[in-house]
A and B are shown apart, each in its own frame.
Chain A
Amino acid sequence: MNNAQLEIQLIASLVAIACAIPGTFLVLRKMAMISDAISHSILPGLVIGFFITQDLNSPLLILFAALTGVITVVLVERIQKTGLVKEDTAIGLVFPVLFSIGVILIAKNANDIHLDIDAVLLGELAFAPFDRIYLGQTDMGPKSLWVIGTILLITIGLLFAFFKELKLSTFDAGLSASLGFSPVLIHYGLMTVTSVTTVGAFDAVGAILVVALMIAPAASAYLLTTDLKKMLGLAVSFGVFSAISGYWLAHWLDASIAGSITTMLGLLFLVIYLFAPSKGLIAVIYREKQQRTEVSLLTFLLHLKNHTEENERHVNHLQEHINWQKVRAKTVLDLALKNNMILIDNDIVSLTQKGDEFTSKAIDYIITNEDAQIEDMKDDFFLFRG
């Protein structure tokens, strides 16, 4: 592996970390789409910054772009507060307008600089190691590494300084306000960080990858934990993992690096969506199936308790009466037998003492319908599982 490859992975990883931190809060605040909006609407800011400074490397560009990012958020909120349209509609109204202003400004005044739409949306990670900073004759490393490194340091500094405030205003804005922290200030702070990160990263990796790196790792982490600190940690590691494995996917396929990283992010989310222990698709299907069996078991036990006559309690009759299919009837019967709820004597089913007590309790709970008792009931059911 050569230096250029190492530097690309380093830049991609730093971008991934810098994106995962604000991304986590955006996902928790249900504002994921705002990052997409910001990534587009920074364009006019960049162009105006370029007109003023005439220098594509000026830090003023980042400042102007971040400013348009914040303007986007303000506009979205203003439109949303009218109550006439919802937030997603407001986002959809604001960012195409700002982006188009940027496109027109470029087309009219700056056709021969590299600030084209392609560069803004796709970037080119492959060329990042060749755009270097020199201090006199000394090679100080790629420019993007410095830009994104600085942004990352600031982001981490802000995260540690305002972690408590961020946490509180994310989960309970009202309480946060009553305790004297301004949720509005925190909100705009977060939006500024999001804008600055997007701008800092766009030249190196492109806006599409920035959006993917903000949302996908945070969304994946969200499926695995309910603890904010753990979610941040997971989002950061997922981001770095996708950045590096995506790079090697690109190496293997000899394909676009940004495209491969985004593909890895998508695959990672898919795997977690399917296999996450409690929120994953497979876990949910399994739980629903178990709940269905539990309800069937209860129905069956209630039926037995209601009928003392033998013909109602014959094994074959149960199938017709409760309208169960053979397999399901057998599952329920086996489950009840295994837990010593019933006895089968000459194909006649009867409740054991344990089954009788359990059923009485269940009826009691259903009638009184008290939440606390239902919670206890759930514990009882866990005994039968498996």
Chain B
Amino acid sequence: MKKIVFSLLLFTVLFNCKNTKEDNGKLNIVTTTTMITDLVSNVGGDKINIQGLMGSGVDPHLYKASEGDVSKLANADMIFYGGLHLEGKLVEVFEKMRHQNIKTIAVSDALDQSRLISSESFTGNYDPHIWFNVDYWIQITQYVAESLSEANPENKAFYEANAKTYLEKLLVLKENLQATIETLPQDKRILVTAHDAFNYFGKAFGFEVVGLQGLSTATEAGVQDVQKLAAFIIDKQVKAIFVESSVPKRTIEALQAAVISKKHDVAIGGTLYSDALGNAGTLEGTYIGMFEYNVNTIVDALK
């Protein structure tokens, strides 16, 4: 009996004799969603170590921490996150971490609250999908460059130069998107998606946006929501509706079935990237590539 206890404890002690920590003088930066990871690595370049918590296709509302995230967070010098409840419970953790020697920065702080879309049901809650307005993303890029420069003044010029290059790219992106959308007649600009992720996009580019689920993907769509939306689609003669990469297909397929059952036709226009970018290394794995892909998909399907 004592032997068993002893050997079990010995085993657990031995198990712990591993050591992992790397430090090469660069800032250790942790980011949450893939959009923020993409932005911060564009500004920080090779002067920072960057680790994203959420991979492509991960829904930030429903993200669950794994063991590897503990070390990432514990070794971080700075953390960039979306805020506005985008990361759920994690936001509270980040707020608590401000007491420690870790700088946690909500990128949404860069924006004036009056420019945010507030939620209808709860005052003080805002739509967190701010990356779908390129102007906001430009402001955030500047904010990220300032924050990095503050934490690491030696590389200030480097961060500012990177931010400038990236801002130019974002301005080109904005023009390109505008040009693509101009080809779509005004009355066809209706975007139906799985959850309310595209409100900023709609406001910026003149789309009417309807989401089947609410702001958070944690809420479920009711039968009534599906029926109402199906009637809306038929009424406005919407040609296509869209799946999102981080939300299961079935809700949108249910909506399609509801429309078809009323003897009308609606296509699934493709998969849009809403809360996460595509796989790293692909074109859709960057913010710019994702945005171009989304707009092309939308315009092609609705034409």
- A130 B19 Cβ-Cβ under 8 A: no
Residue A49 at the B interface, CB < 8 A?
A: no
- A237 B4 Cβ-Cβ under 8 A: yes
Complex Cα–Cα for A111 and B216 (A): 13
User: Closest Cβ of chain B: how far from A46's Cβ, in Å?
Assistant: 16
Residue B68 at the A interface, CB < 8 A?
A: yes
Which of A129, A230, A244, A255 is in CB contact (< 8 Å) with B66? A255
Which of B8, B85, B96, B122 is in CB contact (< 8 Å) with A132? B96
Residue A361 at the B interface, CB < 8 A?
A: no
Q: A3-11, A147-155, A314-322, A365-373: which one contacts chain B?
A: A3-11
Which of A2, A130, A251 is in CB contact (< 8 Å) with B67? A251
Which of B16, B18, B89, B90 is in CB contact (< 8 Å) with A9? B16
Residue B70 at the A interface, CB < 8 A?
A: yes
User: Closest Cβ of chain A: how far from B67's Cβ, in Å?
Assistant: 4
- B66 A126 Cβ-Cβ under 8 A: yes
Residue A330 at the B interface, CB < 8 A?
A: no
Which of A238, A244, A250, A253 is in CB contact (< 8 Å) with B16? A244
A residues 257-299 in Cβ contact with B at 8 Å: 257, 260
- B89 A241 Cβ-Cβ under 8 A: no
User: Closest Cβ of chain B: how far from A137's Cβ, in Å?
Assistant: 10
- B12 A244 Cβ-Cβ under 8 A: yes
- A251 B68 Cβ-Cβ under 8 A: yes
Tell me the interface secondary structure of chain A in the complex.
helix
Residue A55 at the B interface, CB < 8 A?
A: no
Chain B 62-106, CB within 8 Å of chain A: the 1/0 string? 001111111101110000000001000110110011011000000
- B8 A241 Cβ-Cβ under 8 A: yes
Contacts A126-B67, A234-B4 given; does A5 touch B15 at CB 8 Å: no
Residue A146 at the B interface, CB < 8 A?
A: no
Contacts A1-B19, A5-B74, A124-B89 given; does A257 touch B5 at CB 8 Å: no
Which of A1, A119, A251 is in CB contact (< 8 Å) with B89? A119
Chain A residues with CB below 8 A from B18, complex form: 1
Interface residues of A (CB under 8 A from B): 1-6, 8-9, 111-112, 114, 118-119, 122, 124, 126-127, 129-132, 134, 139, 225, 230, 233-234, 237-238, 240-241, 244-245, 247-248, 250-251, 253-257, 260
Given A2-B75, A8-B70, A234-B5, 4 new contacts (CB under 8 A): A114-B92, A127-B89, A254-B67, A257-B66
Residue of B nearest to A111 (CB): B122
- B74 A241 Cβ-Cβ under 8 A: no
- B100 A130 Cβ-Cβ under 8 A: yes
Contacts A1-B18, A130-B100 given; does A240 touch B69 at CB 8 Å: no
User: Closest Cβ of chain B: how far from A217's Cβ, in Å?
Assistant: 11
Residue B261 at the A interface, CB < 8 A?
A: no
Complex Cα–Cα for A225 and B89 (A): 43
Chain B 14-41, CB within 8 Å of chain A: the 1/0 string? 0110111100000000000000000000
Chain B residues with CB below 8 A from A257, complex form: 65-67, 70
Contacts A130-B96, A131-B93, A248-B15 given; does A256 touch B70 at CB 8 Å: no
User: Closest Cβ of chain A: how far from B109's Cβ, in Å?
Assistant: 19
User: Closest Cβ of chain B: how far from A350's Cβ, in Å?
Assistant: 49
Cβ contacts A to B, 10 pairs, < 8 Å: A2-B21, A4-B73, A4-B74, A129-B70, A130-B93, A131-B96, A240-B9, A245-B15, A248-B15, A254-B67
Residue of B nearest to A252 (CB): B67
Chain B residues with CB below 8 A from A127, complex form: 65, 89-90, 93
Chain B residues with CB below 8 A from A9, complex form: 16
- A114 B15 Cβ-Cβ under 8 A: no
Which of A114, A122, A129, A240 is in CB contact (< 8 Å) with B74? A129
- B89 A114 Cβ-Cβ under 8 A: yes
Residue of B nearest to A119 (CB): B89
Chain A residues with CB below 8 A from B68, complex form: 251, 254
- A4 B15 Cβ-Cβ under 8 A: no
Contacts A1-B20, A241-B8 given; does A126 touch B74 at CB 8 Å: no
User: Closest Cβ of chain B: how far from A21's Cβ, in Å?
Assistant: 15
